[in-house]
Each structure stands twice: as structure tokens, then as C-alpha cells.
Amino acid sequence: MKLKARVKTTFILTIQLLVNTLVMGQVNTDPVSYVNTLVGTQSKFELSTGNTYPAIAMPWGMNFWVPQTGKMGDGWVYTYTADKIRGFKQTHQPSPWMNDYGQFSLMPITGKPVFDEDERASWFSHKAEIAKPYYYKVYLADHDVTTEITPTERAAMFQFTFPATEKSYVAIDAFDKGSYIKVIPEERKIIGYTTRNSGGVPANFKNYFVIVFDKAFTYQATVNQKQINEKQLEQQADHSGAIIGFTTAKGEQVHARVASSFISFEQAEINLNELGDNSFEQLVSKGRQTWNDTLGKIEVSDQNIDHLRTFYSCLYRSVLFPRSFYEINAQGKPIHYSPYNGETRPGYMFTDTGFWDTFRSLFPFLNLLYPSMNVKMQEGLVNAYKESGFLPEWASPGHRDIMVGNNSASVVTDAYVKGLRGYDIETLWEALKHGANNVHPTVSASGRKGYQAYNQYGYIPNDLDINQNVARTLEYAYDDWTIYTLGRKLNKPQTEIEIYAKRAMNYKNVFDARYKLMRGRKADGSFSATFDGTDWSRDFTEGNSWHYSWSVFHDPQGLIDLMGGNQAFIGMLDSVFIIPGAEGMKSRSMIHEMREMQVMNMGQYAHGNQPIQHMIYLYNYAAEPWKTQYWAREVMEKLYASGPDGYCGDEDNGQTSAWYVFSALGFYPVCPGTDQYVIGSPLFKSVRLHLENGKQISIVAPSNSSDSRYISRVRLNGKAHEKNYFLHEDLTAGGQIVYEMDKTPNKKRGTAPNDAPYSFSKEVNKTAKK
């Protein structure tokens, strides 16, 4: 009887496991196979659907590669609607708006040696294109050549499959604005450098490259301003290039090993060693494994393949930037060319990120899933401060004068609050204080533009010729809170940090109770005579008052109080989705963000730009969490997809992607610098997070579906969880989160005052009572 019972039990468990597998979907063991690197490439100046390009790269790699459909110098380097490729470019471009630096390209051609980018361009089809993070392949119809690329962090291997001809060539374009090239036939090698950039570099900036072929040249020439010179093997000009040629049999494969360095030719040769003795196929396999290891930190099981494709494509974008800007020397030590002072220095450096975007969820995401990478990034920030006197706010590769805020304070604070250690936090503490009370002498986006007025008035008046004044005030107030928070964490004296606690409340100084919105205010304290919350005015940054009025990340309760309590606050949140998106277009000439908001058909909810992306999670603070659950799903389902038009607006270096990744897990970091993640609505039935500390988080929502978006109950490690947030320690300790989902909202769960997430006002009030 006991044996029969055991057999019966085993049979039942087996059947149950099979049912669970069918219900949940297959466990994903090859996540990179779901990635579509073309998501977001169907963009143009007038309308962004991501403004991305298919980056052929390793996670956080120093060099990316991209098929170049745009003309030299065009920020839209690859667009899905293009039908010709001009070359295969090494790129460091973070976005089309920032453009590129340190670029050069290779292009196989047949028939005759040509260099002009229009003459050498070839028709191609997406049907004959394979675009993976670790591998790219395309057929160039005009030249009857198939090009394949596989990258490492600082090097790459090309595999060209040529037809039978005596006239197979490869053109190497070092681009204009100052470049150098040299052909060394006896070594089957080409070396060169490019100086082309879009700003943010010292005077001695160069990207040195080396290219080694596995076939002897039967033709060689250099190029100066499109003039081909077969007798000259070295060229330094405004626009330099080279052409080398071979005789090839049908289907013959020629390989090019390529690497570059911002330090020297010698270092470029060292970087070339990343390829080792590996064949092209071996490098492809290793690259695939690297991406699977990185993306496999999140293991999703789901039957909806479109959701899997969208999720892992977003996860891919979340681990590209900030880019590594350091190299490994002959002794195996990290070194970097400083984009701040032009010197070669020891240690780490990262770049190509704008903190105005990425402080919101990208860096919190790194702190949760990839903390060891952000430790290196924090070390890089220490170096940036030592080498320039300021932390960058938008780095590409050095300080760039764009966007507002002092959000490096958030990036530093959130990392430390989340437990990251092993770097010079004391230097970063000094950097935060310095940045809060100074402005960079030549790049006003670093430090704080208008800090004198902000410190004097408690806001930046809009009649002092300091634009985007309301946006700056709101972001500085939050940044002051992060400085105060870090100071407390470091046990700094109250006399040193209390000023930042006081300034953290400065957001109140630009709130107008008449409209229940943030407004521009003059130095005499009066608000502007005319006001429309939908106007894209100079008081805000790429948005209007309906977008920016929610930028009180650290004190939603204080904002609730200003608006008149929970119901008034909820009414204002609801209004965001009611006011037509086209209203703002009446206030100024067309810009792409306004068009993107209009076509989304979600009122004033401008998810395509960053300031409002946390707004839907604020319902959790006002006792109506089910509305967060509704809108989180609406945004994930309507505004993201796995195709070339898969984003709304700019993807922006991983921020908009990290929003999706977090939200699909069922929680989001509304206020970086706290230890809380605010609950939304999980997208999948089953997810497993593999943390660096060896712990695992199991997130299960068995009854999840497109119709069942509301949370009925939450259980954390078997216990009922009424809070509208999880703590960082809840997650890093490992365990299980179970969401019970339903088609109708549970309007009782998460409605008690203590269920709301963190607000600074509550902390201040508690302290005052003591």
C-alpha cells in the first residue's frame, strides 16, 4: 500500500509539473534569441519610435558596430526604412541628438575601387539581414557580398564572403574633420585614427584603429578627399581613407580583425588580442554566451512570445549604456584616456549617458541586477570628478552642455543606499556638495546653472534669464534630498546636511494652489500673469506643467497635501489622461516630443519623454493602487512592442527600456535614493531573478492574463503583504513574491495610510513630533 501511495503521489506531482509547464510556458534558457536589435529603428527627426540603431556589441562594450544607412555625420545612422548600406561603422553614438565620436567604417565592394559613400552604397533587404546583439549578417546586392560581424568589448571580426572575381575590395573610411591612415601590405594591416566628434572631447582626442586581414593584398591605395591615390600608402587629411583588394574565388571568405583605442596604436594592438586565436564561429558562440549570461539574470516563463521579445529587447537596451570608456593595458590593469583632461590615467571610466534620463530607473536597475558593474561606474565617477572638478550630468564622452538637473546626486546616493561599496564615497560626497553650489565654467549643464538664485529665493525665478527654471527648481529640490540622504547615511554632522533637507522642500515654492500645478514665478514672488498647463513653455524642459508637476519623487505626500488631499490628487492624476495630447501643440512650433505625445492618444501622459514616466505609480500614495495597476498595463501593452516602431519617443540610453523591465516585474523605483520599489502590475506568470549575491527572487502570478491586470492579494515569502511597495532588502534576501491577479480591482488592499510608500514629509513630521 505504501508503494502504491508513493507511485500515485509521484504520478500526481509529475502531472502537476507538466500542467505548470504548459500554463507558465517553457522556461527560457536562451534569452538572447528573443532580442530584436531593430526595435526603435523606424525613427526620423519628426517622429521618434525609439531613435535607436542595431548595436552590434557586448554588454557595456567600449565599441559598438552598426550598418550605416545614413550619410557621414548623420545622427540617424541606421533607419529601418532605408534601403542602402554605405558601410559598417564603429560607433560610440548614444543618440542621434548627441551624434557620434571616434567613428570609422569598412565597406566591401566589387567591380572597381570606389570610395565615395554614395557610389559604394549597396541595396539591401531586411529579408536578407540577421541582426543579433552578438552577430550581424547582411547581403549587399550591388556587390554580391555577404558581410558578417561579431564583436568583443573593444574589437570585432568581420567575415566577407566574396564572389569569384579579381576585383574584390574593402574600403576603409576614417571620416572627415581630421583623420589619418596607413596601409602596411607586408603585414596585411591598416592603421589609422579619426578625430571626428560632436563635442565633449579634449584637443588631443583621437580614436586609433588597427585592421588586420587574413589574405594578402593585390591592390592598395589611400584616399584624400575622395581622390584615390594608388602610389601613396599613407595619408593625413581632413578626410582620409584606404582601399585594399584581393582576387577571390566564389564563396571565398576574407576575415578582418579590427580593434581601436582612445589611447594609442600600441593599445589598439593590445585590444586586438581580445579576439585571441578564435575563429569567427567561435567568437559568435562566445558572444552569444556572454549575452545569455547577462540577460539570463532575469528568467521569464510565458506563453506570449511577443511579450518575451519585447521584454528581452528592452533588457538588451538596458545593458548597453553607460558605455565602458576604459581599456586593459599590457599588465592587465584598467586604464583610460580622460575625456576631461586628455591624459591617460589609471582606473575605470564610463560615458554616454545622461543622468536627466537614466537616474530614474536605469541606474536603480543596475543596482538591483548588476551591482558589480555600477561599482565600477561609481569608480568612474570618482575619476571624472578628479579629472574635471565636476561630476558629469550628460557625458559623451566628456561634459556636454545639454539638459538640466544635478541628478548625479541621485545616481551616487541610490548606489550607496542600495548597499554598493568598494569605491571612494568620500570623494563623491565632496563632489555632490561642490556640484550643488557651483556651475561648470564652460558647460553649464554640469553643476547647477542658476544655483545662486535657487539658494537665494528657494526657486529659480523666471525673470532672471535662466530658462527651464521650474524644471530646474523641481530637480534641484529632489537632488538636495538625495544629498541629505547620503549625508545621513555617511553620518555627516547635522550642521553640514540640514541645509539640503531644507532645500528639499523648495518644490513647494513653484506650486500654484489656484491651478494645483507647478508654475513659473518671478523674483518678486508673483506668478506669471498668463498660464496654461499644456503650454510647452520656457519654464520647463521638453514638456509642460502637466508633465513636470509630478516631479516630487521624494515627497509625494507633500504634493498630495498641496493639492488638497487624496481625492484632489487623484483627480489631478486622472486629468492627465483626459486632456487631449494635441493641446500642447498650440503653444509653440512643432517638436518631435509633442507629436509623439499626440499620436499615443493617452492625453498628456508623455511616456516618450522621461519626466512623467513615474507618474502612474503615484496612485499608490493616495490609496488607489488599482489605478496604478490599470495604467501600468496600458502603457506596457500600448506603448511598447517588439517591432521597429516598438517605442514611443526616445529610448534614451536604457531609461525607457528599464522602465518596461521594472514594470513587467511588477514594481518600479519611483524615488531613487530610497530603499523602496513601488508596486504596479506584473506582466508575466512567472519570473526568476538571479542576483549577484547568489539569492533568487521568484515572482509568480499564476492567474495573470491580459484581462487580469489587477492585484487581488500579494504574498511575500508566504505572508500577506499589504504595503504598496517592496524594500530593497526584501528582494536581495531572495524568496518568493506571489501576485494573485483578478479582472476586477481590490479596492481595499493597500489603502491604509501606512501602506503608502516613502515621503519626506512624513519623515519630517515624525521628527518634529519627537
Handedness of CA 748, 752, 754, 758 (dihedral sign): positive
Cβ pair 451, 466 in contact under 8 A: no
pLDDT class for 11, splitting at 50, 70, 90? very low
**The pLDDT of residue 22:** 40
pLDDT at 9 over 70: no
Read off φ and ψ for residue 612, nearest 5 degrees. Answer: -100, 0
> Residue 322: is the preceding peptide bond cis (ω within 30°)?
yes
Residue 561 grid cell = 497635501
pLDDT above 50 (res 212) = yes
Distance, in Å, from the CA atom of 614 to the CA atom of 359, rounded to the nearest integer, reads: 12
State residue 404 phi and psi, 5-degree precision: -130, 175
What are 625-634's pLDDT values in tens digits?
A: 999 999 999 9
CA distance 392 to 686: 39
DSSP 8-state secondary structure symbol assigned to residue 538: T
Question: Which amino acid, one-letter code, is at 645?
Answer: D
The per-residue pLDDT for range 449-490, each reduced to its tens digit, is: 999 999 999 999 999 999 999 999 999 999 999 999 999 999
Q: How far is C-alpha 695 from the geometric centre of its chain's CA atoms?
A: 26
Residue 273: Cβ-neighbour burial (10 angstroms; 0-12, 13-18, 19+): middle
| Measured distance CA(709)–CA(702) in Å, rounded | 12
- Report d(CA 458, CA 582) in Å as an integer: 33
Q: How far apart are CA 148 and CA 137, in angstroms?
A: 4
Nearest to 551 by CA among 395, 436, 368, 405: 405
Mean pLDDT across the chain: 95
Q: How confident is the model at residue 617 (pLDDT cuts 50, 70, 90)?
A: very high
Q: Which three cell numbers stand for residue 605?
A: 501622459
pLDDT in tens, 684-727: 999 999 999 999 999 999 999 999 999 999 999 999 999 999 99
Q: What is the pLDDT of residues 650-667, one digit of tens each?
A: 999 999 999 999 999 999
How much is the average pLDDT of 40-67? 96
Grid look-up 563623491 returns 428
Q: Whose CA is closest to 299, among 733, 700, 693, 660?
A: 700
Lowest mean pLDDT across 417-426, 523-532, 684-693: 523-532
pLDDT at 23: 39
pTM for this one? 0.95
